[in-house]
Structure 1
Amino acid sequence: MDSLTQIALGSAVTMAVMGRRTAAWKPALWGAIAGTLPDLDAFIDHGDAVLNMVLHRGESHALFYLTLLAPLLAWGVSRLHGEGALFRRWWLALWLALVTHPLLDTMTVYGTQLLLPFSNHPFGVGSVFIIDPAYTLPLIVGVLWALSAPRTGLRANAIGLLLSSAYLAWSVAAQHHVAQVARDSLRQQGIAADRLLVTPAPFNTVLWRVVAMGPTQYAEGHYSLFDDGSTIDWRRYTRGAALAERHASVDGLRRMAAFTHGFFRVLEDGGRLYVTDLRMGQEPHYTFHFDLGTEAERANGPRASRLEGMRIDVAQGLDWLWRRLWGERVAPPGLRAQAD
């Protein structure tokens, strides 16, 4: 999730655990810091765009390492404030602030390696977008209320945590419903698919994007909970299966295939090999689109991949998002422009 959300969650959790045992600003501050710490790995440059992607949310998001960090951080905080008697309480509060960060990240589709060093599997439920005001606002309101009105603020903070957690539960339920609608629609239209991705469009859990991967093609569609009927308008694209098989040994491609759980496409243009993460973005705009170079370049030794993300026009994207969310069947901006 975005930094503001993680700061708000860290503060809310720490304030809830510390209660009235210390001044409200202390758990708010240290919870915000603990909620931010795991994302510092984003500043590490591995010299390769694919590596930067697949190694983000790695060790710094692992529950094991964060659990080891928690008592050290709690010891420093309790000593700094002269609250040695509250060490165990600070330990619990800051441990929760640390581990709720990757657990919340796991609700997005990106991929969080929670179980390092025992497993590098990237977990991703994909039921919430990386920025969702409906999740974040209750946390912010609760924290600010607790800071400004200590007597009633702790209850407001608890309500904020409850509402945000309920929203996560709602997102999973909505995702499950849309997945069933998508399976029925695929079956009715005779589209073969061996895996299905259901993830929300930006900033909401009403409009959902669905990707169905087949042997040689993938199909993309959108479904709003306000749609009239349960039919999804699917658009089909080639996934570059033959290219992927031929270049399976290319490091960047191999890593992307594993990290995306198979939701990727491969294409060749001008002799250059490209791999695209189909989970984040939508046709024809994707956040993670990598240039893996030419065969000659790769033959001369390891070659750093380059990120060539395809950006959508923000104004057009928001206009489409608003209209499609309310059930209007309009094509995504890039596709409409191509058709024109």
Structure 2
Amino acid sequence: MDSLSQLTLGAAVTVAVMGKRVPLWQSALVGAIAGTLPDLDVFIDHGDAIRNMTLHRTESHALILLTLVAPLLAWLVAGVTHSRPYWRGWCLAIWLALITHPLLDLTTVYGTQLGLPFTDFPYAIGSMYIIDPLYTLPLLVALVVTLWRHNLRWNQLGLLVSTLYLAWSMVIQGIATRHIEQDLVHQSVMPQQVLVTPTAFNTLVWRTVILTPERYGEAYWSLMSPERPLEIRWYPRHPELFDAFRGQWHAERVAWFSHGFYAMQQQGDDTLISDLRMGEAPNYTFTFNLGSPTAPAMAPERGASVRPSLAQAWHKLRERL
């Protein structure tokens, strides 16, 4: 999720745990910092764009490693804030601020390797868009009112509403998936894999990627018109281009990280690979230049993606609703 959501969630859970044992602003500040810490790994340059993408949300998001770090951070915070008697409370508060970060990231489609060091599998539920005001705003408003009025019930309400919204996103994702799969059967489409994930800033319109060996389809399903047949637009995947890079680390890494949701395209002498989970055709958030089979890029660069204007995005959302 975005930094504002993580910062606010970290502050809210810390305030909820510490209550009025320490000043509310103090616990909110500590929680905001702890909730932001895991994402500082974005400042690490691993050498190329594909490594930077697939090594984000790794050790800094691992539940066990964050659990081991929490008592140390709590000891430091208790010392700085002169609140040693509340060290155990700080332990729980900071631990929750830390681990709720990767758990919230888990709801997005990007991939979070929270099982390290035992597994590097990039877990992803994909029920939430990376930015969703309906999740963040209630949490933020409730936290601000809590700090203003010194009434912890507002913070509890914000946490309850935001958590229920996360649960709603998973329920509606399941409903959308069932409708989409039934529609594919009616259209005699037999996909290898199907991905269902929300469109920008909402959980009402859902994007689906339908994968076959030779091509992939993209369609949209709306809760406001659930029985409308899917209008699938098909695009080539060019698996023959991937065959030329088989065994090459960068290509294999994107294929693994995307759970198979990738497509290839030729651009002059260069071959591009796109992660189909984020963005929409023809502009994907993560597209990389692999070079050519005879001269593969040693440090693949990320291609520029064209983002629609707010007016275009709003028009598309109204259409799809």
Query: Could you say which TM-score interval applies, normalised by the shorter chain?
Result: over 0.9
Supply the distance in 1 between the matched residues of 2:147 and 2:314 (Cα, whole angstroms): 37
1:149 correspondence with 2:149: yes
In 2, Cα distance between the equivalents of 1:277 and 1:140? 32
Alignment of 1:56-205 (within 5 A): 56-150=56-150, 153-205=151-203
Find the counterpart in structure 1 of residue 315 from structure 2: 320
Post-superposition offset of 1:324:
2.3
What is the distance in 1 between the residues matched to 2:243 and 2:293?
15
Deviations 1:124-149 (A, max 9, x none): 10000000000001110111111111
Partner of 1:304, secondary structure, is: strand
Secondary structure of the structure 1 residue equivalent to 2:298: coil
CA distance in 2, matches of 1:207, 1:53: 26
CA contact (8 A) 1:14 1:31 kept: yes
- For 1:246-325, what aligned pairs fall within 5 Å after superposition? 246-298=244-296, 303-325=298-320
1:325 offset after TM fit, Å?
4.2
Look up the equivalent residue of 2:267 and give its one-letter code.
D
Q: Could you tell me which amino acid in structure 2 is paired with residue 61 of structure 1?
A: H
CA offsets, 1:73-117, max 9 Å, x none? 100010111111100000000000000000000000000000111
Please provide the CA RMSD for this pair: 1.2
Aligned-pair identity in percent equals 46
Say whether residues 1:211 and 2:206 are aligned partners.
no
Deviation at 1:296, TM superposition (A): 3.4
> C-alpha separation between the residues in 2 aligned to 1:118 and 1:209?
32
Distance 2:270 2:253 in 1: 18
Partners of 1:277 and 1:314 in 2: CA distance: 22
Paired residue secondary structure (2:95): helix
For residue 295 of structure 2, give the secondary structure of its aligned residue in structure 1. Answer: helix
Structure 2 residue runs of 5 or longer lacking an equivalent are: none
Deviations 1:250-269 (A, max 9, x none): 21110001101000001222
Q: How many residues align?
A: 321
Does the residue aligned with 1:296 lie in a helix, a strand or coil? Answer: coil
CA distance in structure 1 between the partners assigned to 2:18 and 2:320 by the alignment? 40
Residues 305-330 of structure 1, C-alpha deviation per residue, up to 9 Å, x if partnerless? 0000321221453233332243xxxx
User: What is the one-letter code of the residue matched to 2:87?
Assistant: F
Please say if residues 24 and 147 of structure 1, whose CA atoms lie closer than 8 Å, have aligned partners that are also in contact: yes
Among 206, 222, 225, the residue aligned to 1:224: 222
Query: If the length of structure 1 is used for normalisation, what is the TM-score?
Result: 0.92
- 1:290, 1:309 within 8 Å by CA — same for their partners in 2? no
Distance 2:58 2:195 in 1: 22
Alpha-carbon distance in 1 for matches of 2:170, 2:107: 9
Over 4 Å off, 4+ runs: none
2:308 partner amino acid: D
Amino acid at match of 1:9: L
Q: How far 1:45 sits from its partner (Å)?
A: 1.1
The 1-side partners of 2:279 and 2:70 are apart by 35
Counterpart Cα distance in 2 of 1:101 and 1:321 = 31
